[in-house]
Structure 1
Amino acid sequence: MGIHLHEYQTTLKSRATLSGFGVHSGKPVSMHFLPADADTGIVFQYAGEGAARRELRALFSEVGSTDLCTMLGDPAGHHVATVEHVMGALLGIGVDNVVIEIDGSEVPILDGSAAAFVEAFDQAGLEMLPVKRRYIHVLKPVRIESGASWAEFRPYVGTRFEVEIDFETPAIGRQSFAADINAETFRKEIARARTFGFMKDVERLWAAGYALGSSLENSVVIGDDGRVINMEGLRYPNEFARHKLLDAMGDLALAGARFIGCFRSYRGGHRLNAAALRRLLSDGSAFQIVETRRERGRSSEMIAVNAPANAPWAL
């Protein structure tokens, strides 16, 4: 029995623009999303005034830090921080190729979710390109552990994420969310889940130069009494777990290709997501690169293909 996968790569039909503030830097930043040719992938271009245009490809090999957020590039030099929400949105609605011009060093936090990115991409529209999309097909379980936390990839017919978290606060506790990923599910169930934090951590983060742009407008904040202090409350009963799933999607989008398989994690985060991805892609027996072939009236069948020597998963 076949599975329903998109056969061809996509890009945006037209330009999209978003502006806001970095959640850690507090600085204003604008982004322009430009249509790109097949096999371009996701590329960030620094477009600030008075500086040479520099590029960073959105690949796990470019990850420079996973502290508090996922950062591409050199933390002490050219970098783009907090890429996980925009990468999750691109993966979630199915955009394979885009050039992102950015005039700062951090993706804007917007409302703390991926909703504004999805809206901008929907307004720009998607265009199918005449080149096959490649997938990373998980062939066997691969697991990584760190203390009580763990993450693993498992074979699965489709693309699925299962995330469970456990916090010692009444507002969160132990909760989970799982979903087979497609554009409709992403829009309805995942995209609107916001980032979250604890009031007790704010002063420490400020002193360290982080969270300078954080506010109740872009974060779910848990007070010292263990309750959500945002007046509007939560968007979903398990919004915290859904946001962790969004983060995981954004981190795994840095593989350079989409997955056919299931990613599961318990008490995970950016560092564990990155480590699990590297563990999978360092084991050539754990995955294969496939394309899909669709026959009239039938769902897609997977066909193994030779990966280019310079492919991001060719470690």
Structure 2
Amino acid sequence: MAQYWLVHPRGRTMPRSTTPQTLSREITISGHGLHSNRPCSVRLVPVAAPSGLVFVHVPTGTEIPAKADLAGDLVLATTLVKDGVRLQTIEHLLSALAGLEIEHLRIEVDAEELPILDGSAAPWVDAILQAGAKSLEGRRRFLKITRPVEVRNGDRWIRALPYDGLRLRYVIDFPIPALGRQSRELSLTPEKYRRELGAARTFCLAQEIDMMRARGLALGGSLDNAVVFGADGPLNESLRFEDEAVRHKMLDLVGDLALLGAPLLGLVEAHAAGHALHVALAQAILADPSCWEWTEDAEPANVQFFFRPSDLSIAAQPA
């Protein structure tokens, strides 16, 4: 089993960004949609001033800010909806951007779904790091949780608690031995995102595939872009991490929390959650200003790799 992350060969370090960031240059990535199986292309365009993350549906010119109040269909993907225009499966790109602290960008999409690529955020991470970040004027503003917020649906739940920094705790529990119960916890920094979450692929149960396709979902899914778990284990040749499933849930959570419109400071705990509960938490936070405050002071991360595009490579290390 191998773990994949981007490595800086000399290991130089620098503090986390305290200024708003966009990209240094444009990026274009093409592929096909996980659910539609249709070709799609995304262009990431740097902005000159802080504006948040704004999607543009190129065929109609519709601008759709990455905001929780515009979230629509949340079955097996996160979808934004505005003026009758849908943009589906946005979570992996949003996760990579949030994980690497790129919070201001114009995202042009030529279809109604973003490409699934390899099923993880790693291709986005690679492209973002190769392009490099550019600082904008001003200071980053953080949304800091000041009192608990919780959302439940039966025995599934998610909550945000006060914490200096962003820490994630996630538990999943599936009724097949190949998955079973997995849990993971980490304090999120760009370096930890790259190392521990970004390469984790989306997953499903083999027994669910026919049901999903009957509903018009996962039409573009394959072992090239998803981990499929059968009764005796994954049908793929190997996993990237022993607990790849819960890591991917955390990857999704980072992307869905980007719909807050600002980086979060808090402890987020989730049990058997998914896109619907992730987004419901973001909506609940924004709906109750008494549970959070704006701040420009964040708990500093220890270090992150400082990079130039020419410094980067992909490495596989034994687990």
TM-score range, shorter chain: 0.7 to 0.9
Equivalent residue pairs, number: 287
Match of 1:77 in 2: 84
Query: Secondary structure of 2:218's match?
Result: coil
Residue type of the alignment partner of 1:67: V
Instruction: Give the 3 Å change call, closer, same or farther, for CA 126–161 of structure 1 in structure 2.
Output: same
Residue type of the alignment partner of 2:235: I
Residue type of the alignment partner of 1:58: A
Match of 1:228 in 2: 234
Query: Secondary structure of 2:44's match?
Result: strand
Q: How far apart in 1 are the matches of 2:16 and 2:162?
A: 16
Match of 2:27 in 1: 16
Match of 1:286 in 2: 291
Structure 1: gaps spanning 5 or more residues: 301-315
Match of 1:309 in 2: none
Matches within 5 A, 1:47-62: 47-48=58-59, 52-62=60-70
Question: Is the CA contact 1:38–1:131 (under 8 Å) kept in the aligned structure 2?
Answer: no
**1:220-277 deviation line (CA, Å, top 9, x unaligned):** 0012x2411102x110011000000001111110000001111110000011111112
**1:251-309 deviation line (CA, Å, top 9, x unaligned):** 11000000111111000001111111222222222100111399xxxx69xxxxxxxxx
Q: How far apart in 2 are the matches of 1:112 and 1:5?
A: 27
Shift of 1:5: 5.5
Q: CA-atom RMSD, angstroms?
A: 1.7
Residue type of the alignment partner of 1:118: V
Q: How far apart in 2 are the matches of 1:62 and 1:39?
A: 20
Residue type of the alignment partner of 2:154: G
Q: How far apart in 1 are the matches of 2:205 and 2:298?
A: 48
Matched, 1:120 2:127: yes
Q: State which of 208, 219, 223 in structure 2 corresponds to 1:216.
A: 223
Q: How far apart in 2 are the matches of 1:238 and 1:67?
A: 23
Instruction: Give the 3 Å change call, closer, same or farther, for CA 293–70 of structure 1 in structure 2.
Output: closer
Q: How far apart in 2 are the matches of 1:110 and 1:293?
A: 33
Shift of 1:208: 1.4
Question: Is the CA contact 2:90–2:114 (under 8 Å) kept in the aligned structure 1?
Answer: yes
Q: How far apart in 2 are the matches of 1:20 and 1:213?
A: 10
Shift of 1:39: 2.4
Match of 1:194 in 2: 201
Give % identity: 38
Residue type of the alignment partner of 2:205: F
Matches within 5 A, 1:127-166: 127-166=134-173
**1:69-93 deviation line (CA, Å, top 9, x unaligned):** 110015x931100111110100001
Q: How far apart in 1 are the matches of 2:166 and 2:209?
A: 36
Q: State which of 241, 244, 251 in structure 2 corresponds to 1:239.
A: 244
Query: Secondary structure of 1:79's match?
Result: strand
Question: Is the CA contact 1:10–1:38 (under 8 Å) kept in the aligned structure 2?
Answer: no
Q: How far apart in 1 are the matches of 2:48 and 2:173?
A: 42
Higher relative contact order, structure no. (Cα contacts within 8 Å, ≥ 6 residues apart): 2
What TM-score do the two structures reach when normalised by structure 1? Answer: 0.88
Q: How far apart in 2 are the matches of 1:283 and 1:205?
A: 35
Shift of 1:202: 1.2
Question: Is the CA contact 1:171–1:222 (under 8 Å) kept in the aligned structure 2?
Answer: yes
Matched, 1:256 2:261: yes
Residue type of the alignment partner of 1:132: R
Structure 2: gaps spanning 5 or more residues: 1-14, 302-319
Question: Is the CA contact 2:179–2:229 (under 8 Å) kept in the aligned structure 1?
Answer: no
**1:42-84 deviation line (CA, Å, top 9, x unaligned):** 1111223xxx31111111011011111110015x931100111
What TM-score do the two structures reach when normalised by structure 2? Answer: 0.87
